[in-house]
Chains A and B, each alone.
Chain A
Amino acid sequence: MLLEIKNINKHYGDKHVLKDVSFAATSGRALGLLGRNGHGKTTTMKIMMGIIYGDSGDVLLDGAPLAKSGAKFGYLPEERGLYQKVKILDQMVYFGKLRGMTFAGAKKTATELLERLDMTEHLKKNAETLSKGNQQKIQLAITLLNDPDIIILDEPFSGLDPVNSKMLQELINENTARGKLLIFSSHQMAQVEEFCKDVCIIKHGVVMLTGSLHEIKNSYPRDKVLVITQDGERHLVQAPADGDLASIASEYKVKGMVVDSVSIQRPSLLEIFLEKVGEDDERA
Chain B
Amino acid sequence: MKGLKHVISFEYLNVVRRKAYLFSILFYLVLMVMLSFLPNIIDFFSRDDMQINHGVALLLDEAPFHNMDINLLAEYFPQFEWKTTTYREMEYAIKTGQAAFALHFTDVASYRVIITDTNLAPNFYLMDLFVREVNHRFLFDTLNAAYTPHMPVSMQWYIVDLAQEDGGVVGDYNWIGPAGAVIGNVALVLTLMAVLSSGGGIMASVMKEKTSKIVELLFTSAAPAAIMLGKVISAALVGLTTGTILAGSMFILTRFNNPLMNLLGDGGNLFYGYPMVTFVYLVVFFIIAFVCMSFIYAGMAATVGDSQESATLATLPMFVVIGAFYLGIMLLGNPAFISETFVAVISYVPFVSPFAMIARLNTVILPTWEVLLIIGLNIIYTIGAAFISSKIYQMCIMLFGHKITFRFLVKKLVKG
Contacts and interface: CB of A to CB of B under 8 A. Distances in A.
A142 B398 contact: no
Nearest to B227: A98
B395 to A, nearest CB: 8
Contact of B217 (A12, A52, A81, A97): A81
Given A13-B403, A99-B221, A53 B398 contact: yes
Interface in B3-21: 3, 6-7, 10, 14, 18
A195 interface: no
A97 B6 contact: yes
In which size bucket is the chain A interface?
Answer: 20 to 34
B214 A83 contact: yes
A12 B401 contact: yes
A13 B216 contact: no
A184 interface: no
B10 A94 contact: yes
A82 interface: yes
Contact of B221 (A13, A81, A83, A95): A95
A52 B212 CA distance: 16
A226 interface: no
A85 B10 CA distance: 13
A43 B402 CA distance: 13
A85 B212 CA distance: 13
A46 B400 CA distance: 10
A80 B213 contact: yes
Contacts of A51: 216, 219-220, 397-398, 400
Interface in A8-35: 10-13, 17
Interface residues of B, number: 25
Interface string A205-223: 0000000000000000000
A53 B394 CA distance: 10
A233 to B, nearest CB: 47
Contacts of A73: 220
B399 interface: yes
Contacts of B399: 52-53
A77 interface: yes
A86 B14 contact: yes
A77 B398 contact: no
Interface in A61-105: 73, 75, 77, 79-86, 94-95, 97-99
16 contacts: A11-B401, A12-B401, A13-B402, A17-B401, A51-B397, A52-B397, A53-B398, A75-B217, A83-B214, A84-B212, A85-B18, A95-B221, A97-B3, A97-B6, A98-B7, A98-B218
Given A51-B400, A75-B216, A81-B214, 19 more contacts: A12-B402, A13-B402, A13-B403, A46-B400, A49-B220, A51-B219, A51-B398, A52-B398, A77-B217, A81-B213, A81-B217, A83-B14, A83-B214, A86-B14, A94-B10, A95-B217, A98-B6, A98-B222, A99-B221
